[in-house]
Structure 1
């Protein structure tokens, strides 16, 4: 068997995934924090003020990466959910449901920073702009997935029902993406392009690249932590879970010796 295919098969094993997540989650968080810190340092101290918006534009370095992640995480959640529904892979159910709280947090940050940025730019904290409204609907979709998952006692049935909602909700993503093109909008059009020339000056781009990359690593670390916790809850009572807990118990200085 191909080594990569074999590795994916092994990753589906709950004990193997637990060890994998425990090893790599701290690396995801550590790299994510480091890259975000580099990006924010550049955004605050190295990049010149915008000629129109002044220093208020600097919130872009939090707002844009969060907005991109709010949609990317939802797409990942739907992808895992689709695999889980078709092939009944339990790990994909766990990963899909672990995406929801993380994506909801990114969406909430997007809405909060957008409102803060909108006050000096538009003169109001909130306007029922197509981009803002569809992003708010995205937050409700995340909350719906989370609520449905926790409303059903059977974990696997709950994951399938919530996963189906996530798959249906994918249709919202292109609406968010092209809302500023399809409707009249206060929100500015696309200024940053991965392919093609961006209207944003190159001297202002490099901190954004660091923060965008940092949010990706932070997401991976958070995903592994949450998925590992759910995996342990589902496997509670299994012998391997008890064995995995023994080193942590032994290393805890508060543990007292028992006769």
Structure 2
């Protein structure tokens, strides 16, 4: 059920999200001079240095990005995290090989999150977004808001959802989307409400997948922790440069008590 949190003049839908796991991916540096293989959770967790402005973060702001398992006809958790982290490889037809490290993160409690499901590009492909959108609209009608207010709220939230779907001109749109993320997190904190993060459409899956941005404190407090890790190999077809194949390049390694893991690379 959606609760409506009012930040300033904007009513935001927030869920208690019961999410068993979150997917995450980090590309491995691979060349004739270096073959990078990770062995520690800290190497595949949220970025800690040299952080550029992103979809939700400002420069040097540490946040945890991942993807949700949701009801989408055109995107899975794994396809979403690969698309979000390896788009350069996907579109660069001169690059024939890519190694990735994908990880499964367990969520120890329900998450209190805001969701942006209002872009037509997302809710027409993703049932989770469609349900959230319809539930929020029903909530607005049930509390007796005037039609003109409802129209204003939904138009603004549709605009913001579309911003999160933008692939082009990232320098501009990241400034808007990161400001929105930080605004809702800061406004909620001032009202003694503790949001864990934001769910929004995955731009690199044409809005079919669902991304999530979470506070780094969830990892530090082990509310969000890495359970297992696997290396994946991406190759490009010699016959059709647009055709990519991704398959396991290692065993599925479980994280040890000391937060390390060990691959058997194939």
Taking structure 2 as the reference length, what is the TM-score of the superposition? 0.28
Bigger share in strand: 2
Higher Rg: 1
Bigger share in helix: 1
Taking structure 1 as the reference length, what is the TM-score of the superposition? 0.29
Q: Which has the higher contact order (CA 8 A, sep 6+)?
A: 1
